[in-house]
Structure 1
Amino acid sequence: MKRREFVQTASFAAVGLLSLPSFLAAGKATKNIGLQLYTLRDVIGQDPKGVLTKVAAYGYKDLEAYSYKDGKIFGMDYAEFNKFVNGLGMRVTSGHYGLDQIKGDTWQKAVDDAKKNGQEFMVMPYIKEPDRQTIDAYKTICADLNKAGEVCTNAGLRFQYHNHAFEFQPIEGQVPYDVMLKELDPKKVGMELDLFWTINAGQDPLALFAKHPGLFEQWHVKDMTKTDRNKNANVGTGSIDFKLIFAQAKQAGLKRWYVEHDTFPGTSSLESAEADAKYLKTII
Structure 2
Amino acid sequence: MKRREFIQRSALTVASLATMPALLQAKSKSDIGLQLYSLRDTIPNDPKGVLKKVAGFGYGKIETYAYSDGKIFGMAFKDFGNYVKDLGMKITSGHYPLALAKSDKWEMAVADAKSVGQKFMVVPYLNEPERRTIDDYKSICEALNKAGEVCNKNGIRFGYHNHNFEFETIDGQLPYDVMLAELDPKLVSMEMDIYWVYRAGKDALDYFKKYPGRFEQWHVKDMDKTNPDKNADVGTGSLDWKKIFAQAKQSGLKHFYIEQESYPAAPIDSIEASIKNLKNIL
Say which SS state the counterpart of residue 104 (structure 2) adopts.
Answer: helix
Structure 1 residue aligned with 2:13: none
Structure 1 residue aligned with 2:175: 176
- Map 1:263-274 to 2 at 5 A: 263-266=262-265, 268-274=266-272
Say which SS state the counterpart of residue 264 (structure 2) adopts.
Answer: coil
Q: Distance in 2 between matches of 1:187 and 1:29?
A: 25
Structure 2 residue aligned with 1:105: 104
Higher relative contact order (CA 8 A, sep 6+): 1
- Map 1:162-201 to 2 at 5 A: 162-201=161-200
What CA deviation, in whole Å up to 9, does each residue of 1:135-164 have, x standing for no partner? 111111000000000111111110010000
Q: Distance in 1 between matches of 2:141 and 2:160?
A: 10
Q: Distance in 2 between matches of 1:104 and 1:138?
A: 18
Contact 2:63 2:257 in 1 (8 A): yes
Structure 1 residue aligned with 2:274: 276
Say which SS state the counterpart of residue 91 (structure 2) adopts.
Answer: strand
TM-fit CA distance, 1:23: 1.9
TM-fit CA distance, 1:104: 4.0
TM-fit CA distance, 1:165: 0.3
Aligned Cα root-mean-square deviation (Å): 1.5
Structure 2 residue aligned with 1:9: none
Structure 1 residue aligned with 2:44: 45
- Map 1:20-59 to 2 at 5 A: 22-26=21-25, 30-59=29-58
Contact 1:164 1:198 in 2 (8 A): yes
Instruction: Give the aligned residue type for 1:150.
Output: E
TM-fit CA distance, 1:277: 1.2
Say which SS state the counterpart of residue 258 (structure 1) adopts.
Answer: strand
Correspondence 1:247 to 2:246 = yes
TM-fit CA distance, 1:42: 0.5
What CA deviation, in whole Å up to 9, does each residue of 1:90-134 have, x standing for no partner? 011000000110024310001011111100000000001111111
Aligned structure 1 segments of 4 or more residues deviating by more than 6 angstroms: none
TM-fit CA distance, 1:282: 1.8
Greater CA radius of gyration, 1 or 2? 2
Structure 2 residue aligned with 1:13: none
Correspondence 1:74 to 2:73 = yes
What CA deviation, in whole Å up to 9, does each residue of 1:40-67 have, x standing for no partner? 0010011010000000000001000000
Structure 2, unpaired ranges of 5+: 1-16
Contact 1:213 1:252 in 2 (8 A): yes
Over the matched positions of the two proteins, sequence identity in percent amounts to 59
- Map 1:118-137 to 2 at 5 A: 118-137=117-136
Instruction: Give the aligned residue type for 1:182.
Output: A
Say which SS state the counterpart of residue 118 (structure 1) adopts.
Answer: coil
Q: Distance in 1 between matches of 2:58 and 2:25?
A: 23
Q: Distance in 2 between matches of 1:22 and 1:181?
A: 28
Structure 2 residue aligned with 1:15: none
Structure 1 residue aligned with 2:214: 215
Instruction: Give the aligned residue type for 1:123.
Output: V
Contact 1:29 1:250 in 2 (8 A): no
Structure 1, unpaired ranges of 5+: 1-17
Say which SS state the counterpart of residue 105 (structure 1) adopts.
Answer: coil
Query: Quick check: 103-112 or 24-33, which moved more?
Result: 24-33
Instruction: Give the aligned residue type for 1:208.
Output: Y
Q: Distance in 1 between matches of 2:260 and 2:28?
A: 21
Q: Distance in 2 between matches of 1:250 and 1:29?
A: 12
Say which SS state the counterpart of residue 282 (structure 1) adopts.
Answer: helix
TM-fit CA distance, 1:220: 0.2
Instruction: Give the aligned residue type for 1:97.
Output: Y
Contact 2:30 2:254 in 1 (8 A): no
Contact 2:134 2:171 in 1 (8 A): yes
Instruction: Give the aligned residue type for 1:71.
Output: G
Structure 2 residue aligned with 1:3: none
What CA deviation, in whole Å up to 9, does each residue of 1:170-198 have, x standing for no partner? 01221100111111011100100000000
Instruction: Give the aligned residue type for 1:116.
Output: S
Q: Distance in 2 between matches of 1:280 and 1:175?
A: 31
Say which SS state the counterpart of residue 190 (structure 2) adopts.
Answer: strand
Structure 2 residue aligned with 1:63: 62
